[in-house]
Amino acid sequence: MKIALIGATGMVGRVILDLIKERNLFFEDIFLAASETSIGKQIHFLNKNYSVISLEKTLHLDPDIAIFSAGRQVSLKWAPKFAEKGIIVIDNSSAWRMDSSTKLIIPEINGSILTLQDKIIANPNCSTIQMLMVLAPIHKNFKIKRIIVSTYQSVTGSGMKAVKQLENESKGKNGEMAYNYPIHQNAIPHCDDFLKNGYTKEEMKLLNETHKILDSKIKISATAVRVPVIGGHSESINITLENSFEISEIITLLNNTSGVTVEDDPAKLKYPMPIFCKGKDEVFVGRIREDFSEKNSLNLWVVSDNLRKGAATNAVQIIENIIQKGFVK
């Protein structure tokens, strides 16, 4: 199997390389591509130096799988060119998520729907992935009617420029800004661009992607906030169910869900935090409690490393799913 990684020099690209190594993903050859400004750079990977190459050259090398982590515009332009050659594209951008002919995949939830005909496979938004990893089993067993979610998102979701802004501000240094306001000691209720309906694109992703993956009948309201955190995204989630439940049933269900770790023991001050989820592939959930203000409702606190399960891990798991199905060898 030959793999191409588009956006190899970026934050997600580097994590994908880490995961290929960690998960012993077998490949015959790997091609590392990036923007023109990065062509020729050397990346040391598995005891070998690789030169970053152009997308054009990568296309002509005929990889079996191409992982795109280079942004929406690159994916819109190049993913179809790769797909036309029979190359399976796994896209981390927002370019193809809501395309009616493209499947939006979280392997633990709907990986079974992939077929050999799927040449462009979309990776969901990071916030959507961690939320649905927890909510999918609850929906399957109790039917979710409504979701109210507030996200508290790491600066890593905005790339290295945002990480550098936080680092500079924490040291009292001036520098290039990724955000319109300081992020150090601040919370900015603004993730991605604002739309005419008053919501941001990030907030609408949570709605639209949940409808596509889980159930179009679920009512959803989202607020996305950028916070001065490095380790991962956090989400405060309130859900209303069609069926009655016991909290013990929810906890047992989540304890038996692959890829989800329950950390919920308030007496011992045990609950998920982004500082402890950094570098881990699981989605962590805690503060699981009944909402006494509304019938059949509960609250959850969900945390995950947005660069791992929210992007890179999910993409690599899709590759593993494809291999397991025998689509590539």
Q: List active site positions.
A: 126, 233
73: nearest Cα among 2, 7, 162: 7
Q: Which residue in the block uniquely carries the two structure tokens 């979610």?
A: 149
**CB-based burial of residue 49 (10 Å sphere; 0-12 exposed, 13-18 middle, 19+ buried)?**
exposed
Q: CA torsion, points 224, 199, 187, 132, in degrees to nearest 10? A: 0
Question: Is residue 132 within 8 Å of residue 254, measured between CB atoms?
Answer: no
The SS3 assignment for 18 reads helix
Question: How crowded is the C-beta side of 135, counted as CA atoms within 13 Å?
Answer: 35
Question: Is residue 49 within 8 Å of residue 43, measured between CB atoms?
Answer: yes
Q: CA torsion, points 158, 31, 277, 144, in degrees to nearest 10? A: 80
